Structure 1
Amino acid sequence: MRAPKSILQDVDRNFGAMLTPAGCNEIDDQRWGQNLPVEVLVNIFQMVVSQDNAVPFLCRVGRVCRLWNAAASSPILWRTVTLGHCWIPPGKSQLPKTEKKIQDTVTWLAQNRFSQLRDFALCHWTKNVEFTLQAVSQFCPHLGSIKLSYCSGLTAKAFQSLGLHSRALHSINIQYSEFQVEGLLEYLENYGCQIKEISFTHGLKNDKLLAALNRGCCPDLELLEVNTKLDSKDGELPVCIQALQTGCPKLKTFRMLNVRPLHKTMRNGVDSSPGFPCLEELCIATTSYSYMTDKDLLDILFASTKLRVLDLRGCSRITPYGLAQLPCPDLECLFWGQYFNSHIGLPSLKRDFHQVTQLWGQTLQQLDIANQVFTEEDLELAMGYLAAQTKTLRSLNLSGTRITLRGVRYVISRMHALDYLNLSSCRYLPRGFKKIYRGQEEIQQLLDKLKELV
């Protein structure tokens, strides 16, 4: 169905800036695209859409000619759609006439372009969010994921519509958005069995979502991400790991970003839980301080033999001994840098990092220990173990550590896959060496420079 001109003009005018190439001669170039097969145009449009989004690009090219409109109408191009700022300049209110245009445009897109829509996102919408989700859920039977970023005005009606119409929905991301918690809780209680991914921002009311997950509302959940606003003063997140392990036994990715989990025990006193046997990624990164201890970490990962990614940035209380006790033989990425400003409560020096490199030296692909306070001798020993075993390490961040020239030589003389090395702020290195090395060519130049010093 060819779009009404007014609809496409509204989308063109209000969903982004024009994409006309600079210096394009319309008289000379207006006919070349009219002779291309539709399939070729669809492939060209697909490349643009994959980088720049379907809206407003497809709406604009659909106005060029009938051939381009036919290509731009291909449902395969509309499987992933993001709608950003809509019609309202910052600081101005939305007029009733404008609101009617928005709703007409959304309805037309849902009815005529979104038949194969899989992934839908709204960003920075403060009005018409509920209307839009209702329209999308009613006319998009294949809808698989929704993402609302910095949106507001989402009530229970939208979640009810999703429950009634979007039976393929498996991913919900509502981070940094305001929504009616009770509406989402009701949705999870009735339809949570189909949800595999959920992401939300930590808040007093939003924490009720964790309680619902603990009760087993989403037994097939594979991804759980809880973050917090960077300017938030309340970063403490009470969480009962045992209950979560029981309620979400299939969890593969668990991220708690910039929150400080406070571990609670189950009220019934049950000590056993299945753990997270399917877990592949655990992220507890924070820019502040962390309560996480070796025991807390083991309580989370005691059954996670498939773990591949472990992000402990900011977790200053974790020790090499605690890491060495984890039953994760095939870890590929370890991020353990310390990026917060205060070192209050930290020991003056740490030791035995070689236990970590000895354990995971054969499997590590990325290692970050920025600003960790290991001794020079301990780092040299650890790098020796790492260099003797690894063939897969691609990225190594030693920024702010006490690494020495000998330790650096251990690293780059044997790690042939290494293409990123961060030696910035390493005060035990001479001037000229403290920098970031990107690519194997720069790393080889560093090795040649080290050989000249021998």
Structure 2
Amino acid sequence: MPRKPERGILGYKKDPKNQILFSFNVRTGDEWPSDDSDDSDYVPDDGLYCVSDGQAMKHSVNAETKKKQLLIKNRKRKKNGSTATKYNETSASKKSKCTSQTESIVAEQHDNVPPLPPEIWLKIFGFVVDRIGALPFLCRAAKVCHMWHELSCHHSLWQKVDLSYGWIKARDQTLLWLCNNRLSQCRSINLTSWKNVTSSAIKQLAEKCPLLESVNLSYCKKLSSEAVTMLVDSCPHLAEIDVSFTSPDAVSPMCLGHLIGTMNSRLRLLNIAGNHFKAFGTLVTYLMTSCSNLEHLDISNANFSSDFVSLNIEKFQIGCKKLKVIRFANSKFRATIQRQQMEPHGFSDLEQLSLAVSTTTTTGSNVGLGIDDNFISRLLLTSTQLRLLDLRGCGNVTCEGLLHLPITNLQQLYISQSPIAKSNCYSDFEPMIQKWRHSLIELDLSWNSYPAEILHAALKALAIGCIKSPLESINLAGTSVKMKSVKYILQNCPSLNSINLTSCRGLPRGIKRDFSGKQFLQLQRDHKT
């Protein structure tokens, strides 16, 4: 039986051929024991060592042989004692000289390279904040050293603050402390989902941060009209405000009327989505006549006291001609009848238009009744720069109407659950896809009843052409697409990285799912030829 190895103050003696002093995986490495309180003095033994991983230990040599080896070693030490002492002294002096010389060189080099001044660090911090935001970077940097703590408190770094990701507790005390200590020069703040923040805290924000230009109060359920009014009155540079999904009092006719009347031409962004409105038609008229520099308007998922809100499209285009983003998704808008011929104005700068209708709600079929070819053609009369068009669920839109739009470089087209593939529109479906094949990056054709042959012709026209298709994502879920059409897309769209084939009845088993990332690459390899 092998003898149990001796333990010393550093634990078991290690195998000289397999020593591990540090390991990231502490369960598999040969680590130093954690508790050596019961170890005796360690005596080196060349004939005895432990092998890691539970391997067998070497047998110890005989006691007599061991004693003879020790006697021989002691005699040699006595004979060579003087020589060894002189040699050790010489080597020690040489080592000390080398060490002192190295330390002096390092010290000289350190003296020649001065530390960065705080002004440079502040500039670096500014670049980081512009890239990734003030939080949580500044909170983490403040824990590094005293200088970084002072720099992270500099007010110039807190000009754009996003508090919607849960970095800190969403309560009044937190916002008040920030207003008093960090946000004196703040120009943009995002308080999305601060459901418990009260109007008193918003009033303090308005008083302490007069330079505010953009405020996001989305989902602040306790917001009052008094707080919104004070925010508008106390911040003369305020140009962007988001009060979507807030309380009815915060979007009352009187409050919104005061907001539009005070901000008027400096208002660039207005998001009032997800709220319930009374007498909204009057507010729309006021908006048209006052906000000439409005660029972003979101009234999605709105509930009106009337069945539909009439929209005079031509007057809308004249009053808000700089609009770039319009979102009326799932809201009841209807175009007024054009009684007299007016000079065409259009939205020449428009880039995004969302008129989607949710077909899952009970009122979804009624919401989209006002969205038809006439509404879209009048709205997009001069919108040649449009990049995004969302018509999901719009039941009165046809392929012919889309084909005649003046849009030249559409990049994102969403026509999911849109019954535009009627028997009288099949001939226009392929030309419509062909029109934008050179620019389409994302296409959603899901849950439509296109015949397999019509869909195959459209996808083939999308994939094959003189210029390589820039398509990156396509959604064909719930359609009658065949495998040959899928192969055309996979083989002829080099930029494609996502395809949704969920519930496609014409595909074999194992293919009916959403492919992206590694799964998409595997699908592409399997059907490369």
TM-score for the superposition, normalised by structure 2: 0.65
Aligned residues of 2:421 and 2:450 also touching (Cα < 8 A): no
Task: Give distance in 2, aligned partners of 1:162 and 1:270.
Answer: 42
Residues 107 and 434 from structure 1, CA distance in 2 versus in 1: closer, same or farther, beyond 3 angstroms?
A: closer
Corresponding residue SS for 1:243: helix
Aligned residues of 2:277 and 2:304 also touching (Cα < 8 A): no
Give the letter aligned to residue 331 of structure 2: V
Deviation at 1:193, TM superposition (A): 0.6
1:420 aligns with 2:498: yes
> Which of these residues, 442, 449, 458, is aligned with residue 373 of structure 1?
449
Q: Give 1:347-386 correspondences, 5 Å limit.
A: 347=422, 351-352=426-427, 353-386=429-462
Deviation at 1:129, TM superposition (A): 3.8
Corresponding residue SS for 2:474: strand
1:74 aligns with 2:74: no
1:220 maps to which residue? 293
1:446 aligns with 2:523: yes
Give the letter aligned to residue 351 of structure 1: Y
Deviation at 1:314, TM superposition (A): 1.3
Task: Give distance in 2, aligned partners of 1:114 and 1:130.
Answer: 18
1:181 maps to which residue? 253
Task: Give distance in 2, aligned partners of 1:350 and 1:434.
Answer: 28
2:45 maps to which residue? none
Deviation at 1:109, TM superposition (A): 2.5
Task: Give distance in 2, aligned partners of 1:380 and 1:233.
Answer: 45
Q: Unaligned 5+ residue runs, structure 1?
A: 1-34, 90-98
Q: Give 1:11-50 correspondences, 5 Å limit.
A: none
Aligned residues of 1:309 and 1:334 also touching (Cα < 8 A): yes
Residues 140 and 445 from structure 1, CA distance in 2 versus in 1: closer, same or farther, beyond 3 angstroms?
A: same
Give the letter aligned to residue 204 of structure 2: A
> Which of these residues, 197, 204, 211, is aligned with residue 285 of structure 2?
211
> Which of these residues, 328, 331, 341, is aligned with residue 259 of structure 1?
331
1:278 maps to which residue? 349
Aligned residues of 2:253 and 2:279 also touching (Cα < 8 A): yes
Aligned residues of 1:242 and 1:265 also touching (Cα < 8 A): no
Task: Give distance in 2, aligned partners of 1:148 and 1:161.
Answer: 14
Q: Could you give the per-residue CA deviations for residues 205-231 of structure 1, whole angstroms, max 9, x where no partner exists?
A: 2725323212x21100011111227x9
Corresponding residue SS for 2:191: strand
Q: Does 140-149 or 78-87 show the bigger shift? A: 78-87
1:19 maps to which residue? none
Deviation at 1:58, TM superposition (A): 5.0
RMSD: 3.7
Q: Unaligned 5+ residue runs, structure 2?
A: 1-114, 360-364
Residues 445 and 159 from structure 1, CA distance in 2 versus in 1: closer, same or farther, beyond 3 angstroms?
A: closer
Aligned residues of 1:321 and 1:355 also touching (Cα < 8 A): no
1:295 aligns with 2:367: no
Deviation at 1:333, TM superposition (A): 1.0
Aligned residues of 1:366 and 1:394 also touching (Cα < 8 A): yes
Deviation at 1:175, TM superposition (A): 0.3
Deviation at 1:387, TM superposition (A): 1.4
Higher RCO (C-alpha 8 Å, min separation 6): 1
Give the letter aligned to residue 210 of structure 1: V
Residues 447 and 228 from structure 1, CA distance in 2 versus in 1: closer, same or farther, beyond 3 angstroms?
A: closer
Corresponding residue SS for 2:277: coil
Aligned residues of 1:79 and 1:116 also touching (Cα < 8 A): yes
Aligned residues of 1:53 and 1:80 also touching (Cα < 8 A): yes
> Which of these residues, 188, 198, 202, is aligned with residue 133 of structure 1?
202
2:488 maps to which residue? 410
Q: Could you give the per-residue CA deviations for residues 92-122 of structure 1, whole angstroms, max 9, x where no partner exists?
A: xxxxxxx9xx46x544432431133122133
Give the letter aligned to residue 278 of structure 1: D
Residues 110 and 323 from structure 1, CA distance in 2 versus in 1: closer, same or farther, beyond 3 angstroms?
A: same
2:320 maps to which residue? 248
1:332 maps to which residue? 411
1:168 aligns with 2:242: no
Task: Give distance in 2, aligned partners of 1:186 and 1:233.
Answer: 20
1:195 maps to which residue? 267
Corresponding residue SS for 2:272: strand
1:119 aligns with 2:188: yes
Give the letter aligned to residue 393 of structure 2: G
Q: Could you give the per-residue CA deviations for residues 29-59 of structure 1, whole angstroms, max 9, x where no partner exists?
A: xxxxxx998666996798699768737x856
Task: Give distance in 2, aligned partners of 1:395 and 1:434.
Answer: 16
Give the letter aligned to residue 407 of structure 1: S
Give the letter aligned to residue 400 of structure 1: G
Corresponding residue SS for 1:149: coil
Residues 317 and 71 from structure 1, CA distance in 2 versus in 1: closer, same or farther, beyond 3 angstroms?
A: same
Residues 128 and 311 from structure 1, CA distance in 2 versus in 1: closer, same or farther, beyond 3 angstroms?
A: closer
Q: How many residues align?
A: 397
Q: Could you give the per-residue CA deviations for residues 184-215 of structure 1, whole angstroms, max 9, x where no partner exists?
A: 3123113211011101024232725323212x
Q: Point out the structure with max Rg over C-alpha.
A: 2
Deviation at 1:418, TM superposition (A): 1.0
Residues 187 and 233 from structure 1, CA distance in 2 versus in 1: closer, same or farther, beyond 3 angstroms?
A: closer
Residues 49 and 363 from structure 1, CA distance in 2 versus in 1: closer, same or farther, beyond 3 angstroms?
A: closer
Q: Does 146-155 or 326-335 show the bigger shift? A: 146-155
Corresponding residue SS for 2:347: coil
Corresponding residue SS for 1:257: coil
Task: Give distance in 2, aligned partners of 1:210 and 1:112.
Answer: 40
1:321 aligns with 2:321: no
Aligned residues of 1:54 and 1:77 also touching (Cα < 8 A): no
Residues 52 and 171 from structure 1, CA distance in 2 versus in 1: closer, same or farther, beyond 3 angstroms?
A: closer
1:4 maps to which residue? none
Deviation at 1:416, TM superposition (A): 0.9
Corresponding residue SS for 2:496: coil
